[in-house]
Every structure is written in C-alpha cells, then in structure tokens.
Structure 1
Amino acid sequence: MKIFSKAQIYEGDKITIQKQNISSADLMERAGLAIFNWIDSRMQGAPVPIHVFCGIGNNGGDGLVVARHLVNHGYHVKTYIVDFSEKRSKDFLINYERLKQNTKDWPVSIKSKDDFPEIGPNDIVVDAIFGVGLNRPIASWIVALFALLKASTALTISIDIPSGLFTDKLPEDESQVLHANLILSFQTPKLVFFLPDTAKYIEQWEVLDIGIDPEYIQATETEAYVIGKHEVLQWYKPRTKFSHKGLFGHVLLIGGSYGKIGAVQLAARAALTSGSGLVTAYVPKCGYLPLQTAFPEAMVLTDTNETHITAIRFTTDFSAIGVGMGLGVAQDTIVAFEAFLKTNTKPLVIDADGLNILALQPKLLKHLVKDSILTPHPKELERLIGAWDDDFDKLTKAKAFAKKYQIVLVIKGANTTAVYNNKLYINVTGNPGLATAGTGDVLTGIITGLLGQGYNPLQAACFGVYLHGKSADIVVEQLGYQSMIASDVINGIGAAYIDLLTPAEVQQQPANPENNK
C-alpha cells in the first residue's frame, strides 16, 4: 500500500474530480459518507450521544457531511463549529447549508472556552477540526478544547488525521494535537502513523476507500509504502512436488564469541526454518559442541581460535551470508571482518557487532557488496548515521546513508522500516513481545535464509521483517508479551507461512516432507 504525501493527496483529489466529472463537493460527500457508513455499521442506531467538532475548512466540511447523515439516520447528534477564523472553504459552506436544512438543531459556534460543551465519558467525539492542510499556529483556546476532549475519556474518532498533527513535521507541543482513539484515513495511511515520535498520537487507524482515481493511485510513485500480507504474497515463491534442498540455497552465518554462541544458533535455526535448504555456522572453537548438540540440522565450521573469530576462511560456494551476531569487537576479529568484506561477493546481511565494527571503522563501508542488508536497532543506527533531531531528520539521514553506500538499511522498531533507493518500506506486523534478547538474531537468520532462496535483497528484507513480526503476532496470543522469547519466534515461522497462503496453496504443499530431502 502506498503512502501519499500531502501534495500527492491534493493532486489525487484534483485528478479524481477532473476524470470522474464530479465537483469537489461531490468528493467531500463521498468521503463523509464513507465515515458515516463506518460508524453506522458498528453502532447500528445505538442511542449514544455523538459530538461532531468541525473546523471551517475542508476537514470541517467532511465532518458536516458525517453529521448530516447521522442526523438523517436518527442518531443523537450535536454539531459544533470550531470558529477560529472568518474564512471558510467553499465546500464547508455548501455542507453547512445542507446540514441546516436537515436539522432543527443548527451547529453551535465555539469561539472561546466559554462555549465548550459537556462531554460524557460514554459519548462519542468525531474530530473534523483540522486536516492535512493545517498550516497555522493553533489558538490557545483550541488547545484547551483538545485537553477537554481528552479528559472526557469519550471515544474520539478523527477524520483523516488527528487535528493538530502535521504530515511532514512534528508539532511544537504535544498539547497542540488532539488525542484520538481511532483515525479513519482517506484512501491511504499517513507516514506519521508509523513514526516513534508521533506514535503517542496514534492508537489505531483504518483506511477508507473514497474512490480516488485508481489509475492515479497505480501510476504515482510515492516515497513510502506499507508492507503487509498483500504485498509479500506477490513475492512468495511456492514449492513444487519435486523440490529438493539444493534448490533453496546454502547460507552461512558468521558470528559468536565466548558466551555468545547462542546468537549464532538462533540465526542459523531461523535461516533453516525460513526455508533455506542448507545452513552452515562459522564460529570460534568454543561454539562447536554447543551448536552440534543443540542444533544438529546445521553444519559447523570453526575458527582456529577458541574464544573469538580471528579469520574467516571457507571454500564452500554459499548462496548468502549473514554476519555479526555475537561476533564481538576484538581487534583481530575486526581485522578478520575487514579481510572478509574486501573479498566477499555474495549477498550479505550484517547485524549486531558487524554493525558496531562498521561504526568503529567507517572506511569499511566502501567494501560492502552492492545491496547488502544492514539491520540496526536505534542505537546501532545512531552509531552509523549520527544523531538526529527527530524522526523526519532520521529518515532523511538514513536515506542518504543507504543511497551513498547502495545498501538496504533495515531500521528495527515498532514499525520496522527498510530504506532503499530513497524509498521507505514500512512493516505492519510485530508487537512488544519482540523486545527481548535474541529476536534481532532471529531476524538476521530469516532475511539471510530468504536471500539464499533467491529473493532479491529488498524482497528478502521486507518479507523477512514481515514473517518475523507475523510469527510474533501468532505466538504472543499464547504466551503474552512478557513471556515470549526469541526461540518462540522461530517456532512460529511455520504458522506465519501458513497464514500467508490461501487454502489452495496450502493443499499444494508436499504432504510428506521426507519425500523432499
């Protein structure tokens, strides 16, 4: 799903009006009706007081359409005009008159704190005060209205975007944004729905189709995309009856040091569970017995050193390589890592101490094979790209970094985001249960396993992040956030694949895995 910028939203409206030979008021009617239908389908006429707060622009016009349909369907509606300017949009005025013709209770004007209504905790508030076009400071009395609505604890539904929230920058003060329980966004979500800095303003969101020209949506290139089930299904590579392990790659996981062999074990297990045909782990000598005992499905190569890696030497022609999990940053490990990067030509995933070494030795970045995948958590990202002022600055720096070194940069977090070729790919699976040791190693293993199976680097990164999060979403229902651990995520990968497939595709999977060695 594409995420449109503010300018693209306006352009989409304009093109839709032209191509569909409708007026802007007709498009507003369509948008407001979509909001009403969503509310009506859930409330089914329940006698709950509904308070619709409208600004004097087009977002307010949307609210007036919603109010009119609620009134016409017998709901208990109070409509308020948040009167912060003498200027009104043309379509606001059209729908203001239409509402007046449909109700004896004309909209109430609010111009100061003295006009504030009482809102009950069981009421519903519809926020249509400011939309994506907000470009002015918010008056103090409107900030006080936001505080009143939040304090009421009434269910608050924002139309398109919470009032006071910008699409392309942070608000100056948290109090200048209306707290919404749910946002009903027109056609596509907004980038700010996914950023850590703006997460406090977003509880839930849904997208409503308002009939924006499909050709415009299809043809328009956007800066950001939401990656969900529909998107990854287009990449999924099904298996046939005569598939065998030689068709699905042989991946190498390099890492581990004394006391941190578990990181490699988790990555290797995740790579195999994600579908890799063969997996080899390259570890210091102290990792040989633990890996052979705990994970017999993996092959093991060892360094000559007992406690950490001092050289990376192998002769096998691997399909993809993941490196860094538990690796450590000993000086001879850094030397070995540098030598490896200078000679490696295979698709590459770098995590954990591999990233820390790159931060310590930035000159090594020029040796990365094109489209290498880097998977930093926030602190590792800061070491690579430097500190940032806010999330918008972070994304700007991340895009510049990824472009400079021609890499896929996977920024881990609540909405893990892959950055590639100046575009953002935002994942929507996952939950707080992933905030536990080892889940990053699991992600590295999954992505490396997908790379080895022939997915291109961007697909492997996005599909891997999706599977990782979806597995966590499935597993957490049985274990809860606090009790889920990294190996549980590996155990859920199979269920994540099954969830991805249609019933027909599930039936096509081999009934007896023993036939496919």
Structure 2
Amino acid sequence: MQRAGVALAEAVAGDYREIGGMPEDARLLVLAGKGHNGGDALLAARALLSDRPEARAVVVLCFGDKALRPLAGRSLDWVRCDAAGRVEMMPAEQALAPEQRYALCLDGIYGFQFRAPMDAASRALLTAVNEHRGIRLRAAVDLPSGVAETNADTIFRADFTYATGIVKQPVFSAQATTSVGRLRYLDLGFFALGEPGGTKERVLTKAGLGPLGVLRPAQSDKRTFGHLLVVGGSRSYPGAVVLSVRAALRSGVGLVTAYVPERLAPEYAARHPEAMWVGCPETTAGSMAAGTVALIRERLSRATALLVGPGLGAESETIGWVANLAADSSVPLVLDADALRAEVVAGIRNQAFVCTPHAGEFQRIGPRLFADEKFTAPRGVLVLKGPMTRITDGNTIYHSPFGGPVLARGGSGDILAGLIGGLLAQAPGDPLLAACRGTVWHGRAADLLARTRGQVAVELSEILEQLGPALIS
C-alpha cells in the first residue's frame, strides 16, 4: 500500500504538469472509503504533503472513522502524524461547500468490491464532487467510485484513473468511458490485466521501449537498421507524408526512401535531405498515377518494410495500384490513412502487415479483418487509434495508456505510422512488436510534450522533438 501511495503521488504530480504543475500551497481533498483504496489515497496525500510543506489536505471519511479497516486506519494515522497541523477532517457537506477550492481531489471511496446500488449518502457526495467548480483535477484510485461489474447510477467523474498494480476490467467498459478519464497504469510488480472470458488482454508499459535506449552495436552501418519505403502524398494532402517520413527518420531506421508526386519531391528533398525522395507520375488531380508501381518495385527488393497511405488521396486510379502493390509486396506492410480500404486489405496474401485506422477508417476495413467477432488476418496486426489505443494480433489485446488530448490533432496518425514503419523495417519479422512499441513511443512523447508545453498551444510536429527524451526519461 505504501508503494501504491508513493507511485500515485508521483503520477498525479507528473500529470498535473500538463496544466502548469501542482502549486506548492496546493489544497487537497481526499475522499477515503473503508479499505485499501482509501488507504492508497491517504498515503498519496501523505507523499504530496511531504514534498510540499505549504500544502494542506482536507479528508472526508465517507463511512466514518469506525468503519476504517486496519490498514486504512493506519494510513490515516500516518498522514496526520507526518503532516501535523496541515490535515483537517471535515464532513462532506462542509468540505464541498461552494466556496471551497482544491487543486486536487483524490477518490478512494470504493474499490473493486463495489456492487450497485449505492447508498444515498455516497450518491449525494459523488454528485456534489462532480458538480463542484472549485476542483482543478480529479483523480481516481483504481476505479472511479461507482464503476465496477455493475455500475451505479452516479459515478465519480475522473480526469485520470490510476490503476495500482492490477488494471480492473471495468475501466474498459463502454459505460465507464466518460468517468474513467485518462487511464494510467502504475506498475507495482503485479500482472497488468486479467483474462476475462478467456480473451488475453494486457496493458502496455514504458518498459517496452527499454531496448531502444541501449547502445547500438559498434560494428554497424546504415544497412544494419533496415530500409523503409514510404508511399504517400498528393496535391490535396501534401503535409502528411512529410510527417511520416520525419517520424521514420527518428525511429532509428537506417534508410528511408519516400515516393511522392513529382512536383513535391524537389521541395521535400531540400527540406529533409536525410531521406531519398522519388518523384512519381501524377494524375490530373494531383495524386500518384499507376506508373508509380514500377518505380517502387525497382527498389522493393532492397527494402525491409513498406508504409503506404499518408496523404495518398482517394482517387480510384491510386487506390487501384495500391491494392496491386499490397497484394504483390515481398516485404511487410504498414497501411495507413487512404490505403485503409477494403479492396487493399482483401488482396493481402501471405505477408505480414499492420493496419492503423481510427474509428472511421475501421468501419471501412473491419469486415475484412473480423468475422463473427474473430480476427481473421493470420499475419495481420490491428492498431485501433483512439483515446485508449488498442492493438491486437487476434490472440491478445494490448491497451496503451499513453498520450492524451494533445494527440487530438491532424497529423498525429501520420507520425505514428512513420514510427511503426521505421520500427518494422528494423525488425520485419515482428509486426506486433513494432505496433506496440511505436504506439507506446508515440504516446510517451505526447505526454512529455503536454507536460512541457501544455495541451493547447502546441503543434503536432513538436512531438518529434520529444521522441528522444521519451526513450530515456
């Protein structure tokens, strides 16, 4: 429990940086229930108060002090002893009076044992917390109170939910989405997620990036780290392919060759000479014409992966030759954006591939990847982008708790596709690893950007500058 409290305090303080950092004189509101969740919240407050001598805490014991279980009671004693004079016990009505102001509210009322219905006092408390305008950030321990196997009619609305050691399955339910906020996983050395109904599910952690932060072999050259071909760009969407190429260049891949409309190639080559830019014939509307296939095939035998789609456009001629290219490719594929078409996915035969759709694009290709709710692409990997990006190879579902609203901008998917493509080129035999590692890396960089610059006044391309720090922080 002490480990959970310290980890929770550190995580909350880190996420608070997205809105300028927790004030030194922060006022905390702790909602403590009977058991371990209440103890975790109290110990987190203890750690936050220890780091901030001017901070104060208000504690609401939602079921009274006599209902506290031994460990929760001990946690209360510790926080009151260590922050003597800075912890005030209050009834809920007083703590949530309209004039009260708090930098942080920690919800530790209910844990996994909650079963609806909820008692009237708890329902009134949660309603008051949800409606209170003087709370800057709301954080739930393990589960927002009211979320469990059977949800209550009133649920704590969290900005962040911090899973301590084990992620509880209810946080992924559709009914809980608006209450969970952003999920954070605090690895305390336990397993990450159970296996409900026999379906394996896991939560990705930053440990998966570890191998990218080690020294590279001294006896290596550019061919050691793969060769990625990137195919994309059009007159209508000229910037997407640039973001993908720039992300691929940051992925550690040895070589990048980009195929773009011929009128764009000179400008792109001048701006980003690290990549090899190949100008391709254009349609009258400015997309790449069918003659592009011959140019790609000239170098395909020297490539280790192929990324198709960023900014490609949806002209029928273009989609037609992309489908042929995907069907005949001798290297693993990453399909993104306009390449995510049913006819393209349907033509893939034996090669490994990664699809990176958002919800709308998934509607186009989902019927080709799933039948009777089963994933039917034996060598395929699906990266379903969203507030909680999910990845599956048909055997296991991986949830990524990284990133946030800073990624809700055009170009985010192009950067992710470039990262996954570059990683796949370096390890073409493991598309699932490339997809998971690229997703975590992308999300971690976004978190660092938000903590450095905030969520609002940023440009998406700034994520590229955080890719290096994301590997070593």
Gaps of 5+ in 1: 1-27, 81-115, 387-395, 501-517
Structure 1 position 258, deviation (Å): 2.2
- Aligned with 1:329: secondary structure? coil
The correspondence of residues 222-301 of structure 1 with structure 2, limited to 5 A, is 223-234=200-211, 238-301=215-278
Provide the rounded CA distance (Å) in 1 between the counterparts of 2:362 and 2:68.
38
Provide the rounded CA distance (Å) in 1 between the counterparts of 2:397 and 2:68.
27
Residue 357 of structure 2 is matched in structure 1 by 376
CA shift digits 1:78-131 (9 cap, x unpaired): 598xxxxxxxxxxxxxxxxxxxxxxxxxxxxxxxxxxx7432425897755533
Identity over aligned residues, as a percent? 27
> Residues 430 and 469 of structure 1 are in contact (CA less than 8 Å); yes or no, is this contact kept in structure 2?
yes
Q: Closer, same or farther in 2 for the Cα pair 1:490/1:401, shift >3 Å? A: farther
Kindly indicate whether residue 312 of structure 2 is the aligned counterpart of residue 327 of structure 1.
yes
Q: Closer, same or farther in 2 for the Cα pair 1:418/1:440, shift >3 Å? A: same
**Paired residue type of 1:464:** G
Residue 54 of structure 1 is matched in structure 2 by 63
The correspondence of residues 348-363 of structure 1 with structure 2, limited to 5 A, is 348-355=333-340, 357-358=341-342, 361=343
Structure 1 position 443, deviation (Å): 1.5
The correspondence of residues 94-113 of structure 1 with structure 2, limited to 5 A, is none
Gaps of 5+ in 2: 1-33
> Residues 147 and 171 of structure 2 are in contact (CA less than 8 Å); yes or no, is this contact kept in structure 1?
no
**Paired residue type of 1:492:** Q
Residue 41 of structure 1 is matched in structure 2 by 47
Match of 1:453 among 426, 438, 443: 426
Residue 144 of structure 2 is matched in structure 1 by 162
Q: Closer, same or farther in 2 for the Cα pair 1:328/1:477, shift >3 Å? A: same
**Paired residue type of 1:53:** C
Provide the rounded CA distance (Å) in 2 between the counterparts of 1:204 and 1:332.
41
Residue 189 of structure 1 is matched in structure 2 by 167
Structure 1 position 265, deviation (Å): 2.3
Residue 426 of structure 1 is matched in structure 2 by 399
Residue 315 of structure 1 is matched in structure 2 by 298
CA shift digits 1:412-442 (9 cap, x unpaired): 2233222223423223333433333222212
**Paired residue type of 1:133:** Q
TM-score (norm 1): 0.67
How many equivalent pairs are there?
415
Provide the rounded CA distance (Å) in 1 between the counterparts of 2:157 and 2:448.
29
Q: Closer, same or farther in 2 for the Cα pair 1:63/1:191, shift >3 Å? A: same
Compare 184-193 and 274-283 and name the one that shifted more: 184-193
Provide the rounded CA distance (Å) in 2 between the counterparts of 1:304 and 1:259.
15
The correspondence of residues 384-463 of structure 1 with structure 2, limited to 5 A, is 384-385=365-366, 400=373, 402-404=375-377, 406-454=379-427, 456-463=430-437
The correspondence of residues 87-166 of structure 1 with structure 2, limited to 5 A, is 117-120=93-96, 121=100, 127=107, 129-138=109-118, 142-152=122-132, 153=134, 158-166=140-148
Provide the rounded CA distance (Å) in 2 between the counterparts of 1:424 and 1:304.
40
CA shift digits 1:47-105 (9 cap, x unpaired): 7441111399x99887566556667877867598xxxxxxxxxxxxxxxxxxxxxxxxx
CA shift digits 1:304-352 (9 cap, x unpaired): 3353223322222210000011111212112212211221131110000
- Aligned with 1:492: secondary structure? helix
> Residues 62 and 122 of structure 2 are in contact (CA less than 8 Å); yes or no, is this contact kept in structure 1?
no
Structure 1 position 244, deviation (Å): 0.8
RMSD, aligned CA:
4.1
Provide the rounded CA distance (Å) in 1 between the counterparts of 2:139 and 2:238.
49
TM-score (norm 2): 0.73
Provide the rounded CA distance (Å) in 2 between the counterparts of 1:47 and 1:337.
61
> Residues 308 and 339 of structure 2 are in contact (CA less than 8 Å); yes or no, is this contact kept in structure 1?
yes
Compare 261-270 and 228-237 and name the one that shifted more: 228-237
> Residues 111 and 142 of structure 2 are in contact (CA less than 8 Å); yes or no, is this contact kept in structure 1?
yes
Provide the rounded CA distance (Å) in 2 between the counterparts of 1:62 and 1:401.
44
**Paired residue type of 1:223:** K
Provide the rounded CA distance (Å) in 1 between the counterparts of 2:347 and 2:392.
18
Structure 1 position 496, deviation (Å): 3.1
**Paired residue type of 1:367:** I
Q: Closer, same or farther in 2 for the Cα pair 1:426/1:140, shift >3 Å? A: same
Provide the rounded CA distance (Å) in 2 between the counterparts of 1:256 and 1:219.
40
